[in-house]
Chain A
Amino acid sequence: MKDIRDAQYVAHRSDGSIVRRPMSPHLQVYRPQLTSVLSIGNRLTSIAISAGTLLLVWWLVAAASGPKAFATVQHVIANPIGLLVLFGWTVSLVYHFYAGIRHLVWDSGHGFSLPATHRSGWLTVGLTVATTLLVWAIGLSLWLGA
């Protein structure tokens, strides 16, 4: 035995004989639930936002470089694929924002009961949809309007 985790597999039958505990089954045997899906979603969106920071850095560097570089980045973002990426980035950022606040509430010791967890979970989903649509509605009306 070389790993401390092996020690935690050691268990006893009622007659005192030693058995190795069975392994816990992995993710795929469980039915997806609100709690697990939102937890996985929080991690996936974190990776998506991280990738999206490249766009942020490009935008900042272009704005600092000059009108030509800035026009290029604006042109790429205004492209349908660019807008789709930007929309995906917004959804991810907004979801991660609310899911992060949900985590901070848990960290403060509140909202651990199952009904509270489900309420805050659905609230997170609802606020994500509402905020994303609101930001894009304002953005598109400002962009196309004037």
Chain B
Amino acid sequence: MSEKSAEAVADRVRVMRSQLGRARGLGASKSGVEHWWVERVTAIALVPLTIWFIVSVLTLLHSDQPEVRQWAGRPVNTVLLLATVIMTFHHMQLGLQVVIDDYVKKSHLAVTLLNKGAALLLGLFSIVAILKMAF
């Protein structure tokens, strides 16, 4: 780059951000890896849990409410159900957040809070329902 054109670029670019900061990919939030990593961890957990859940639902097709309740009350099923809904809603909220970050420009904060709040409430509804069947 010639000295003259470098000056021209410097004159046009007024960004208070170092090249190191850009290379590290850290914005104002100073995070990103955590989100990516937890999305993967929850995905791995959901591989066996989803298989277990679908097989369980198939075995419950003819069950009435007391039978479902009894099934959910067995400790192994209670624990796996809890793990499934916790992993599902955590993974869901992380994934939807990426979609929101990509497409929602207006009211980004409001939609983000709606996403987190809805996932938390749906998760809590599920957890309470499972525990109610167990105890």
B and A form one assembly: yes
Structural contact, A60 and B129, CB atoms closer than 8 A = yes
Asked whether A1 and B13 contact (CB < 8 A) given A18-B5, A64-B69, A142-B61, the answer is yes
Q: How far is the CA of A65 from the CA of B133 in the complex (A)?
A: 9
What size tier do the contact residues of chain B reach? Answer: 35 or more
Q: How far is the CA of A142 from the CA of B61 in the complex (A)?
A: 7
Residues of A within 8 A of B66 (CB): 67
Asked whether A12 and B5 contact (CB < 8 A) given A63-B69, A63-B72, the answer is yes
Residues of B within 8 A of A37 (CB): none
- What string of 1s and 0s marks CB contacts (under 8 Å) between A123-134 and chain B? 000000000000
Structural contact, A57 and B13, CB atoms closer than 8 A = no
Q: Point out the residue from A2, A67, A100, A142 that lies within 8 Å of B64, measured CB to CB.
A: A67
| A134: min CB distance to chain B, Å | 10
Structural contact, B15 and A64, CB atoms closer than 8 A = no
Asked whether A10 and B9 contact (CB < 8 A) given A56-B126, A70-B64, A104-B44, the answer is yes
Asked whether A53 and B92 contact (CB < 8 A) given A18-B8, A63-B129, A142-B58, the answer is yes
Number of A-B contacts (CB under 8 A): 104
Q: How far is the CA of A64 from the CA of B95 in the complex (A)?
A: 28
Structural contact, A1 and B44, CB atoms closer than 8 A = no
Q: How far is the CA of A7 from the CA of B22 in the complex (A)?
A: 12
Q: Does A16 contact B (CB under 8 A)?
A: yes
Of all chain A residues, the one with the shortest Cβ separation from B13 is A7
Asked whether A139 and B58 contact (CB < 8 A) given A12-B5, A97-B50, the answer is yes
Q: How many residues of chain A are within 8 Å of chain B by beta carbon?
A: 43
Asked whether A61 and B129 contact (CB < 8 A) given A12-B1, A53-B89, the answer is yes
Q: Does A138 contact B (CB under 8 A)?
A: yes
Asked whether A146 and B62 contact (CB < 8 A) given A46-B96, A50-B96, A97-B50, the answer is yes
Structural contact, A97 and B9, CB atoms closer than 8 A = no
Q: Could you tell me which residues of chain B, from 16 to 70, have a CB within 8 Å of some CB in chain A?
A: 17, 22, 40, 43-44, 46-47, 50, 54, 58, 61-62, 64-66, 68-69
Residues of B within 8 A of A93 (CB): 50, 54
Residues of B within 8 A of A146 (CB): 62
Q: Does A66 contact B (CB under 8 A)?
A: yes
Q: How far is the CA of A136 from the CA of B40 in the complex (A)?
A: 28
| A14: min CB distance to chain B, Å | 11
26 A–B contacts from the bound complex (CB under 8 Å)? A1-B13, A1-B14, A4-B22, A16-B2, A16-B4, A16-B5, A18-B8, A18-B9, A46-B95, A46-B99, A49-B92, A54-B122, A57-B129, A60-B85, A60-B125, A61-B125, A63-B69, A63-B72, A65-B129, A71-B65, A100-B46, A101-B47, A103-B43, A104-B43, A135-B58, A139-B61
